[in-house]
Amino acid sequence: MPERKNLDDRQLDAILERLDALRDELQTMNRRLDHTEGFIALAHELRSLNESLQALAYAALGQQGPQVRRRRTG
């Protein structure tokens, strides 16, 4: 096992500053991840809503299909 070094106050302060910076970066990443998870849930809800609206639209058409009028060209 290697010999342990004694660290002076300046070195300990530098290590603590680096640890604080890492903690801040992790908090930022966690906030972004939370937002991303929220967007994923929102996208799922919108997809479900879209499918429901499409089902209602097709149900409103009844037995007949949609009537599409085409323009004459020329």
pTM of the predicted structure, to 2 decimals = 0.51
Q: At residue 72, what is the residue type?
A: R
Supply the pLDDT for residue 71.
75
Exposure string over 62-73, b if 16+ CB within 10 A, otherwise e: eeeeeeeeeeee
The full set of domain ranges for the chain reads 8-60
Question: What string of pLDDT tens digits covers the 74 residues of the chain?
Answer: 667 778 788 999 999 999 999 999 999 999 999 889 889 989 999 999 999 998 888 888 776 666 777 777 76
